Amino acid sequence: MATCPMTGGGGNSAALASLMSDNPRYAEMFDVNKESANAGVDNNRDYTDDMNALREKAPVHQGSLRGLLGVPEMSHMMGPPRNEMTFFSYRACEIGFRENLLFSSEGYNESAGVRTIGTTILSMVGKPHKRLRSAAQPLFKRPKVIDWWNKRWIEETVDALLDRLLDEEATDLNSQLCARLPMATVTRAIGLEGEDVIEFRYQLNRATFGAASLPPEESAASRAWIDTTLRQLIADNTRDPGDNLITGLLNAEIVDEEDGIKRKLTEDEIFGYCKLAIFAGGGTTWRQLGITIDALMNHYHFWEACRDDRSLIELAVEESLRWRCTDPMMPRLSTADAEVEGVHVPEGTRVYLCFGAANHDPAVFERPLEYDIFRKKQANMGFGFGPHRCLGIEVARQEMIVAINGLLDRFPKMTLDPSKPKPEYRGLEHRGMTAVTVKLK
């Protein structure tokens, strides 16, 4: 197992070569219809219209999102039985996101999958959340992402992935670019190289959210693999600091809640950050990049506009986050009785914030069902909102921007491949494209 920390600059040809392999685990892990979160979902349906219809009927509904859509529940994912409600309007979701002490992220702690990740900002609120988030925040701010993430990992990986396609006439970008880029970026960022890049995400999936479908001894073995790998990486970087995320986290400081004295992050806190980064960075960006490329292919005048003015690529990415966000719902737990949009929400209710519908709320967005990169700039909830907005949003943005720039540089006349079945937008909690089949030339 290669666990040497990355040091210095420049490329790593052996590591990048492993990204080009035909490892069958790519197909196993990066198929939207096989996502564990989409279990029970009708793979032939796009639930966008159904969610929008529920929002138009009422801003807040009694029941879970799955229950309201007639999709089988996944109770093992969310925790013990509770009263459940779903927020659909922009205003209701905004309240749910902003009032994080009232609609608490601590409800994630009831999920067995989240608990196996360990201590993370995902399931924290208030001052503890702010303190732990602030320790890593400098590593994910836009200037750092552009000057460090881009130059260290993103640009190099995009070049390697796209240059191998230069002699191809057609390809499926879902498997050849969208799946590989974010997984490689975030996994290499913690210091892994070679085949460990894909092996780490595979084992992490088996140890957490995929564990429900495995024999206990298999998921336990995957957890042991993950813990051993991360402990070795932390030890390596403690002894010989590298130019990577783990060394950055080792150097970060947090103000202790009890005595107010600055301290270093604990090993468990670093564990949690690394595991969360792999899941969020390796999954969300994969699906959202495919959604964005497909949107540009189906709205070709915007592809041509981006080709002529590269500053428009960022607008194209942002609009895809609003128009078809990959994760359209997040859970919260109400800590007190509340009233939202005129509806009583009892204490102890598990609340689902359906921001996929909120992003289409006509009270906020004109022509909300249209993909339009020139629309009036307004905040959308594609990567969350409020204090729990995605920490890695700038990394995700840059991965998508650099990837689309790379495609435009090499394949400016790229189109959808008419000889292949039309790619479809599918899934519920984890939505994405069934494929991104294109003619490159």
What tokens appear for 100 in the block? Answer: 């994080």
Boundaries of every domain in the chain: 13-439
Going by pLDDT thresholds of 50, 70 and 90, the confidence category of residue 43 is confident
User: Using one digit for the tens of pLDDT, what is the confidence trace for 140-162?
Assistant: 999 999 999 999 999 999 999 99
User: Using one digit for the tens of pLDDT, what is the confidence trace for 4-27?
Assistant: 333 333 345 555 666 667 777 777
Cβ distance 89 to 113 under 8 Å?
no
Going by pLDDT thresholds of 50, 70 and 90, the confidence category of residue 28 is confident
Burial 393-405 (b: 16+ CB within 10 A, else e): bbbbbbbbbbbbb
User: Using one digit for the tens of pLDDT, what is the confidence trace for 219-268?
Assistant: 899 989 988 998 899 999 999 999 999 999 999 999 877 777 899 999 88
Whole-angstrom distance between the N-terminal and C-terminal Cα of the chain? 39
Angle formed by the axes of helices 312-323 and 393-410, nearest 10°: 120
Angle formed by the axes of helices 300-308 and 312-323, nearest 10°: 150
Which position has the higher pLDDT, 29 or 378?
A: 378
When mean pLDDT is compared across 89-93, 223-227, 348-352, the lowest value belongs to 223-227
Which position has the higher pLDDT, 356 or 260?
A: 356
Residue 194, pLDDT score: 74
Going by pLDDT thresholds of 50, 70 and 90, the confidence category of residue 35 is confident
Nearest to 285 by CA among 359, 388, 392, 151: 392
Going by pLDDT thresholds of 50, 70 and 90, the confidence category of residue 76 is low
pLDDT at 101 > cutoff 50: yes
Cβ distance 434 to 33 under 8 Å?
yes
pLDDT, average across residues 78-90? 93
What tokens appear for 157 in the block? Answer: 């990986």
Nearest to 136 by CA among 281, 251, 7, 275: 251
Residue 352, pLDDT score: 97
Residue 193, pLDDT score: 78
User: Using one digit for the tens of pLDDT, what is the confidence trace for 295-341?
Assistant: 999 999 999 999 999 999 999 999 999 999 999 999 999 999 999 99
CA atoms of 288 and 324, how far apart (whole Å)? 8
Q: How many residues does the chain have?
A: 441
Residue 12, pLDDT score: 57
The CATH T-level fold of domain 13-439 is: Cytochrome p450 (1.10.630)
Residue 1, pLDDT score: 29
What tokens appear for 20 in the block? Answer: 């080009």
pLDDT at 205 > cutoff 70: yes
What tokens appear for 208 in the block? Answer: 């957490």
* Contacts for 372 with CB less than 8 Å, ≥ 6 apart: 319
Segment holding 426, helix H or strand E: strand 425-426
Going by pLDDT thresholds of 50, 70 and 90, the confidence category of residue 3 is very low
* Contacts for 387 with CB less than 8 Å, ≥ 6 apart: 97, 98, 100, 125, 129, 130
